[in-house]
Amino acid sequence: MKTNMGNPDRIIRSVVAAIIAVLYFTNSITGTMGITLVVLAGVFVLTSLVSFCPLYALTGLNSCSSKK
């Protein structure tokens, strides 16, 4: 599994996941929408930790800076 996410992308995903978690645990978002967003936040955290996004791989995107 080759990395395809750069640091700015990882940071943005982590911040969005944290915001979703705070909104969910303060009951600002509830129900089906809340559960869906929490699952999405989990995916964001997981992809940030491994620096690999399957959707990026499918579409050929790469936000990782090229190292020479």
DSSP 19-55: HHHHHHHTTSS-HHHHHHHHHHHHHHHHHHHHT--HH
pTM as predicted: 0.86
Terminal C-alpha separation, the chain: 19
Tell me the domain boundaries of the chain: 9-51
Residue 67: the pLDDT is: 62
Q: What is the pLDDT of residues 9-65, one digit of tens each?
A: 999 999 999 999 999 999 999 999 999 999 999 999 999 999 999 999 899 888 888
pLDDT for 1 = 78
pLDDT of residue 65: 80
Helix 7-25 crosses helix 31-50 at what angle (to 10 degrees)?
150
